[in-house]
Amino acid sequence: MNILKKVQRDVPSRLGVCRRRGEAAFTMVEIALSIAIVAFAMVAIIGVLPTGFQVQRDNREETIINQDGTYLLEAIRSGGLGLDQLTNFVERITISNRLNRYIGARRPATGREIPLINGHFIVGMLSVPTYQVVGTDRRGRAQLVTNEVTAMMRSISGSASQRFQAEQFRDNSFTYLVTSTITPYVPFSTNIYARERNFAATNRFEMAHNVMSNLYDVRLHFRWPVNEFGGGDRVEYRVGRKEKVFRTLVSGRLIQTNGFPFFRATNTSLTNLYHFQSSTYSPPVIVR
């Protein structure tokens, strides 16, 4: 009897505990609302992730361009000849004007392309001046051509994932187009000869001649991303909207060289190479 009475006393208390626990639990409606709120927050977070990844990618590419631009600008300014590691990153260099079109390629596909065998050729082709005298006409006047120098390159700096060297993985590396523009620095307008003839008798005129002979404006215009299409010596590029320009002044003499002893003089695809010598200066130009 005592056991039965004890069980009867415990049953209501247990039922009350269960009842109280049932009243404190979440309902199905509350659970559904919680899941909806969490799902809404997750959708917002997932929607922001692509923007974050794109910003991170843009910053990484901008950092690579800053480092590579400084490196190439210094290589051209110093007339570097021993930068043979550039052969791993320069795919193609094109020099075109109204008379000829020269192409230097890492892996020449035709006989018309110049193999980029060392840093001497790469820096020499990137240092080709924009305005070049190619001869004289029948009246003895100088004939000028405007060179457009463009190089298709892969990232020199950056992480290992951006510097694929194996041929089957090179398409995954970061690529860009760089246009080199080298022009003599002109400190005054050429119309000054007609307006102020007394200027020619001053020392400033001689100083201007020296500056024009030994000071150059060097600009590197980077554009990316790059999509390559075509083949052989008719490769074309489709370039994105991102761009950046590096610019500096180089004092010294721009020396013209050639491809010897790497090529024969009869090689029709050979182009003249140029290198800066910062310790050598040219005599003043003579304007007639």
Q: What tens digit of pLDDT does each residue of 78-128 get?
A: 988 889 999 989 999 999 988 888 888 888 877 778 888 889 889 999 999
* 285 within some domain: no
For residues 165 and 240, the model is more confident at: 240
Give me the pLDDT at residue 44, please: 80
pLDDT digits (tens, 9 = 90+) for 38-78: 888 888 888 888 888 888 889 999 999 999 999 999 999 99
93, 230: one domain? yes
230, 252: one domain? yes
45, 156: one domain? no
From 23-32, 161-170, 209-218, the region with the lowest mean pLDDT:
161-170
40, 77: one domain? no
Cα–Cα distance measured from residue 186 to residue 161, given in angstroms and rounded to the nearest whole number:
43
Give me the pLDDT at residue 29, please: 86
154, 220: one domain? yes
9, 71: one domain? no
206-216: average pLDDT: 77
Q: How many distinct structural domains can be found in the chain? A: 2
pTM: predicted TM-score of the whole model, two decimal places? 0.74
Residue 219: CB atoms within 10 A of its CB come to 15
CB-CB contact of 210 with 284 (8 Å): yes
* 235 within some domain: yes
* 8 within some domain: yes
15, 123: one domain? no
165, 22: one domain? no
* 10 within some domain: yes
196, 226: one domain? yes
List of residues 6+ apart from 100 with CB closer than 8 A: 271
204, 143: one domain? yes
Which residue reads 């000054």 in tokens?
192
Whole-angstrom CA distances from 73 to 24, 78, 180, 197 are 72, 9, 10, 38
Cα–Cα distance measured from residue 42 to residue 239, given in angstroms and rounded to the nearest whole number:
36
93, 218: one domain? yes
Domain span at 34:
2-52
* 108 within some domain: yes
Give me the pLDDT at residue 174, please: 87
Whole-angstrom CA distances from 82 to 73, 86, 123 are 15, 9, 10
Where does the pLDDT of residue 146 fall: very low under 50, low under 70, confident under 90, or very high at 90 and above?
A: very high
* 228 within some domain: yes
* 136 within some domain: yes
User: Parallel, antiparallel, or unpaired: how do β-strands 253-257 and 273-277 relate?
Assistant: antiparallel
127, 168: one domain? yes
Give me the pLDDT at residue 20, please: 52
* 286 within some domain: no
Give me the pLDDT at residue 27, please: 85
Q: Which H or E element spans position 38?
A: helix 28-77
For residues 33 and 178, the model is more confident at: 178
Where does the pLDDT of residue 242 fall: very low under 50, low under 70, confident under 90, or very high at 90 and above?
A: very high
pLDDT digits (tens, 9 = 90+) for 9-33: 555 555 555 555 555 677 888 888 8
